[in-house]
């Protein structure tokens, strides 16, 4: 399973026994498999190779400099959504990396920064933004390369907090009005409208929305061209889903099958912005059991990772597989289907499994990594692996409750390197002025 597997009842990341990492770096710890990161990037590159795509790794999923560098070294550009992400991409990417800049609220300063740093394309999300970009570009005496982001009004329902292409969300230009917006900037001295962008949501487990989106995209591109815009790029965004529960995700080839025909018809270069697909299954969040507790008929595993380390379960009710790193002989070693309500759980009947909540030390009842999950009994000091934590895990981590953020380690084969050290109290207060002493 993505270079995380059990050998003799011990979880390995590539060829490193995970307990060794806990010993050396402490917990909570993000553990990344370099082979998985590269396999996943390669999978996208290979699936779309026929149309020579520009793959812009979505930095928001995981912006660690070493991971971004790995992407850049292996042919990826970057999709960014703030100046901070832009700077990460510049720092980690090779010279000339293609950087696409999306986001609904780019400030003039960010626009100027991007223009001065060779932005490949702005993904433009509103008419006001389009004119703001045009104005900044004119001030600098350049033409800004832009792709208009359409909200294609499609139904890939993900989660109310992550839907990006259903009517009424804040993203993109309405499909009904985008053509008029494009018309309004024909011949604009500060703007080169060269692309169409869409991002359908995340995560998406079906290919069909991409087929529908790409078809709508081709129709728009034809209209933009008829207006005189020289459209060269079709950017289909990110959103490809991954396996959180079992084998629910589609391979990249399934998306390629429905996107490539439209790309060919459009005569455009394809851009993709995968984030989760590359990083999601490439990491576990490793934690250690602090206490166990039973109260009010419920059983709790209190471990040292919390909502500040991985907020997805709290924020979206997301499911992450969790399993002991060294399961006892009474429980199976593969965590494939634990707790999946859509799947009859063969582990439920295991003598040592019972329904438990996996919670952290943060002072919120919503601080949990799993709820009502059939898990084996564990004891203080046991290690747990929270799977599929590589995307939007560390990237969304915070210091809530003055908890220092976790360390991150990158494994390749039998070796491992710290790619982010654990924070310290000094880091926590580094930006504060203790001015009343
Ligand atoms: C514009 C844009 N591109 C790419 C992504 C990356 O999405 P994912 O990590 O699901 O591939 C996102 C996030 O959803 C996004 O908003
Ligand atoms: N952060 C989200 C998805 C949103 C992606 C960014 N548009 C997640 O953890 O799944």
Domain harbouring 96, CATH code: 3.20.20.10
- Mean of the per-residue pLDDT values of the chain: 94
Q: Is residue 434 in some structural domain?
A: no
The residue that leads in pLDDT, 358 or 373, is 358
Q: Is residue 369 in some structural domain?
A: yes
Where among 278, 305, 340 does a domain terminate? 278
Which uninterrupted H or E stretch holds 6? strand 4-7
Q: What is the number of the ligand closest to the CA of 104?
A: 1
Same domain, 27 and 40: no
Separation of alpha carbons 334 and 323, rounded Å: 8
Q: For atom 5 of ligand 2, which residue has the closest CA?
A: 202
Q: Is residue 437 in some structural domain?
A: no
Same domain, 202 and 293: no
Reported ipTM:
0.98
Q: pLDDT by residue (tens digit) across 378-398?
A: 999 999 999 999 999 999 999
Tell me if 61 CB under 6 Å of ligand 1: yes
Same domain, 335 and 405: yes
Separation of alpha carbons 194 and 122, rounded Å: 10
Give residue 351's pLDDT.
63
Q: What angle do CA 400, 426, 90 make, to 5 degrees?
A: 80
Q: Ligand 2 site: residues with CB under 6 angstroms?
A: 60, 162, 202, 312, 392
The residues pairing with 45 across neighbouring beta strands, listed in sequence order, are none
Same domain, 234 and 124: yes
Q: What is the number of the ligand closest to the CA of 161?
A: 2
Tell me if 255 CB under 6 Å of ligand 1: no
Where in the sequence is the domain holding 346, given as residue range(s)? 4-32+280-428
Ligand 2 atom, smallest distance to 276 CA: 10
Catalytic member of 13, 56, 268, 363? 363
Same domain, 152 and 205: yes
Active site residue 435: no
Q: Is residue 436 in some structural domain?
A: no
Give residue 155's pLDDT.
73
Model confidence band, residue 28 (pLDDT cutoffs 50, 70, 90): very high
Alpha helices (H) in 7-165, listed in sequence order: 18-25, 34-47, 65-73, 83-92, 108-116, 127-140
Q: pLDDT by residue (tens digit) across 155-211?
A: 766 677 777 787 888 999 999 999 999 999 999 999 999 999 999 999 999 999 999
Tell me if 82 CB under 6 Å of ligand 1: no
The residue that leads in pLDDT, 158 or 215, is 215
Separation of alpha carbons 187 and 204, rounded Å: 37
Separation of alpha carbons 389 and 331, rounded Å: 23
- Tell me how many domains the chain contains: 2
Ligand 2 centroid from CA 276, angstroms: 8
Binding-site annotation: residue ranges for substrate:
276, 312, 316, 364, 392
Same domain, 143 and 79: yes
Quick check: 187 and 228 in contact, CB under 8 A?
yes
Q: Is residue 109 in some structural domain?
A: yes
Beta strands in 172-314 (DSSP E): 173-174, 191-197, 233-235, 269-272, 283-295, 298-303
Same domain, 175 and 309: no
Same domain, 286 and 255: no
Residue 107 has pLDDT above 90, yes or no: yes
Q: Is residue 298 classed as helix, strand or coil in its secondary structure? A: strand
Q: pLDDT by residue (tens digit) across 296-339?
A: 999 999 999 999 999 999 999 999 999 999 988 877 776 654 54
Q: What angle do CA 421, 422, 427 make, to 5 degrees?
A: 100
Q: Is the peptide bond before 260 cis (omega within 30 degrees of 0)?
A: no
Return the CATH number at 345. 2.40.37.10
Which uninterrupted H or E stretch holds 264? helix 252-266
Q: Is residue 178 in some structural domain?
A: yes
The distance in angstroms from the start CA to the end CA of the chain is 54
Tell me if 202 CB under 6 Å of ligand 1: yes
Which has the minimum average pLDDT: 95-104, 255-264, 335-344? 335-344
The two tokens of residue 372 are: 């009502």
Tell me if 277 CB under 6 Å of ligand 1: yes
Ligand 1 centroid from CA 202, angstroms: 6
Q: Is residue 148 classed as helix, strand or coil in its secondary structure? A: strand
Q: Is residue 433 in some structural domain?
A: no
Quick check: 323 and 385 in contact, CB under 8 A?
yes
Same domain, 163 and 62: yes
Ligand 1 atom, smallest distance to 237 CA: 3
CA dihedral sign, ordered 309, 313, 319, 322: positive
- Cβ neighbours of residue 339 under 8 Å, at least 6 residues apart? 319, 321, 345, 370, 372, 373, 374, 375
Give residue 341's pLDDT.
47
Q: What angle do CA 171, 177, 183 make, to 5 degrees?
A: 115
Same domain, 224 and 350: no
Residue the block writes with tokens 């018809």: 265
Q: Is residue 287 in some structural domain?
A: yes
Q: What angle do CA 368, 372, 296 make, to 5 degrees?
A: 90
Model confidence band, residue 353 (pLDDT cutoffs 50, 70, 90): confident
Same domain, 205 and 82: yes
Binding-site annotation: residue ranges:
239, 273-276, 312, 316, 364, 392
Where among 259, 278, 297 does a domain terminate? 278
Q: What angle do CA 252, 256, 261 make, to 5 degrees?
A: 175
Give residue 330's pLDDT.
76
Same domain, 236 and 366: no
The two tokens of residue 13 are: 């990341």
Residue 279 has pLDDT above 60, yes or no: yes
Q: For atom 4 of ligand 1, which residue has the closest CA?
A: 238
Tell me if 103 CB under 6 Å of ligand 1: no
Binding-site annotation: residue ranges for pyridoxal 5'-phosphate:
239, 273-276, 392
Where among 243, 278, 313 does a domain terminate? 278
Q: For atom 10 of ligand 2, which residue has the closest CA?
A: 392
């Amino acid at each position: 399973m993505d270079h995380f597997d059990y050998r003799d009842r011990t979880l390995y990341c590539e060829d490193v026994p995970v307990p060794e990492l806990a010993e050396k770096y402490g917990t909570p710890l993000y553990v990344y498999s370099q082979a998985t990161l590269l396999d996943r990037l390669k999978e996208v590159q290979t699936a779309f190779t026929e149309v020579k795509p520009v793959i812009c790794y979505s930095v928001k999923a995981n912006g660690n400099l070493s991971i971004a560098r790995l992407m850049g070294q292996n042919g990826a550009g970057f999709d960014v959504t703030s100046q901070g992400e832009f700077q990460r991409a510049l720092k980690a990417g090779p010279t000339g990396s293609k950087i696409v800049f999306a986001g609904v609220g780019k400030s003039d300063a960010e626009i100027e920064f991007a223009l001065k740093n060779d932005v490949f394309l702005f993904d433009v999300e509103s008419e006001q933004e389009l004119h703001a970009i045009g104005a900044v570009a004119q001030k600098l005496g350049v033409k800004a390369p832009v792709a208009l982001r359409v909200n294609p009004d499609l139904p890939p329902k993900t989660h109310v907090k992550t839907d990006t292409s259903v009517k009424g969300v804040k993203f993109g230009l309405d499909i009904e009005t985008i053509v008029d917006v494009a018309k309004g900037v024909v011949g604009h001295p500060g703007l080169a409208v060269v692309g169409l962008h869409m991002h359908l949501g995340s995560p998406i487990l079906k290919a069909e929305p991409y087929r529908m989106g790409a078809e709508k995209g081709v129709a728009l591109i034809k209209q933009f061209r008829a207006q005189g815009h020289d459209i060269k790029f079709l950017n289909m965004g990110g959103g490809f889903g991954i396996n959180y529960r079992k084998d629910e995700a589609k391979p990249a080839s399934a998306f390629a099958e429905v996107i490539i025909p439209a790309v060919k018809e459009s005569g455009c270069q394809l851009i993709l912005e995968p984030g989760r697909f590359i990083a999601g299954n490439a990491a576990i969040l490793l934690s250690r059991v602090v206490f166990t507790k039973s109260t009010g008929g419920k059983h709790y595993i209190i471990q040292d990772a919390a909502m500040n380390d991985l907020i997805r379960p709290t924020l979206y009710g997301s499911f992450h597989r969790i399993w002991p790193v060294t399961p006892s002989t009474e429980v199976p070693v593969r965590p494939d289907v634990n707790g999946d309500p859509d799947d009859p759980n063969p582990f439920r009947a295991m003598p040592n499994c019972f329904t438990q909540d996996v919670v952290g030390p943060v002072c919120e009842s919503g601080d949990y990594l799993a709820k009502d999950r059939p898990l084996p009994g564990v004891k203080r000091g046991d290690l747990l692996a929270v799977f599929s934590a590589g995307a939007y895990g560390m990237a969304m981590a915070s210091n809530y409750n003055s908890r220092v953020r976790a360390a991150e380690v990158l494994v390749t084969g039998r070796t491992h390197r710290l790619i982010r050290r654990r924070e310290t109290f000094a880091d926590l207060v580094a930006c504060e002025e203790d001015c009343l002493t």
